[in-house]
Amino acid sequence: MGLVDIINNLNNFLTSNILMWGLLGAGAFLSIILGFPQITKMPRAFGLVFGGLFKKKDSQKGSMSSFQALATAVAAQVGTGNVAGVATAITAGGPGAVFWMWVSAFLGMGTIFTEACLAQKYRRKVNGELVGGPAYYISEGLKKTGGLAKGLAVFFAVTIILALGFMGNAVQSNSIAAGIKGISGLEGINPGIIGVVVAVLAALIFMGGMGRIAKFAELVVPIMAVVYILGSIVILIIFNKEVIPTIAWIFKSAFTGNAVAGGIAGSVVKVAVQKGVARGLFSNEAGMGSTPHAHAVAHVKHPSEQGLSAMVGVFIDTILVCTATALSILVTGAYNVQGANGKYLVGAQLTQGAFKLSFGEFGAVLLAVCLAFFAFTTIIGWYYFGESNIKYLFGSKALLPYRIIVVICIIIGSLQEVELVWSLADIFNSLMVIPNLIAIVWLSFEVKALLKDYNKKFEEGNVYYDYKDE
* Closest by Cα among 37, 15, 127, 30 to 310: 37
Residues 232 and 207: beta-carbon distance below 8 Å = no
What is the Cα–Cα distance from 132 to 119, expressed in whole angstroms?
6
Mean pLDDT over each residue of the chain, to the nearest integer:
89
Percentage of the chain beyond pLDDT 70 is 94
- The stretch 199-215 carries a mean pLDDT of 95
pLDDT at 453: 97
Asked whether the predicted pLDDT for residue 463 surpasses 80, the reply is yes
pLDDT at 55: 62
Collapse the DSSP code of 417 into the 3-class scheme (helix H, G, I; strand E, B; otherwise coil) and give the result.
Answer: coil
Helix (H), strand (E) at residue 175: helix 169-181
- The stretch 415-428 carries a mean pLDDT of 75
Parse the chain into domains and list their residue ranges: 3-452
- The stretch 395-406 carries a mean pLDDT of 95
User: pLDDT-derived band of residue 384, with 50, 70 and 90 as boundaries?
Assistant: very high
Asked whether the predicted pLDDT for residue 260 surpasses 60, the reply is no
Q: According to the CATH classification, is domain 3-452 in 1.20.1740.10?
A: yes
Residues 419 and 181: beta-carbon distance below 8 Å = no
Collapse the DSSP code of 344 into the 3-class scheme (helix H, G, I; strand E, B; otherwise coil) and give the result.
Answer: strand
pLDDT at 239: 96
pLDDT at 313: 97
Collapse the DSSP code of 125 into the 3-class scheme (helix H, G, I; strand E, B; otherwise coil) and give the result.
Answer: strand
Residues 322 and 83: beta-carbon distance below 8 Å = no
Global pTM value:
0.93
User: pLDDT-derived band of residue 268, with 50, 70 and 90 as boundaries?
Assistant: low
What is the Cα–Cα distance from 410 to 169, expressed in whole angstroms?
6
* Closest by Cα among 81, 36, 10, 71 to 278: 81
User: pLDDT-derived band of residue 64, with 50, 70 and 90 as boundaries?
Assistant: very high
Asked whether the predicted pLDDT for residue 333 surpasses 70, the reply is yes
E-state strands within 72-178: 124-126, 129-131
Three-class SS of 198-233: HHHHHHHHHHCHHHHHHHHHHHHHHHHHHHHHHHHH
Pairing of strands 129-131, 124-126: antiparallel
What is the Cα–Cα distance from 412 to 392, expressed in whole angstroms?
27
pLDDT at 175: 84
What share of residues in the chain are helix, strand, coil (percent, to 5)?
80, 5, 20
What is the Cα–Cα distance from 440 to 290, expressed in whole angstroms?
13
Greater model confidence, 324 or 63: 324
What residues are paired with 338 via a beta bridge? 344
CA 165-66-63 angle, to 5 degrees, is 65
What is the Cα–Cα distance from 370 to 293, expressed in whole angstroms?
25
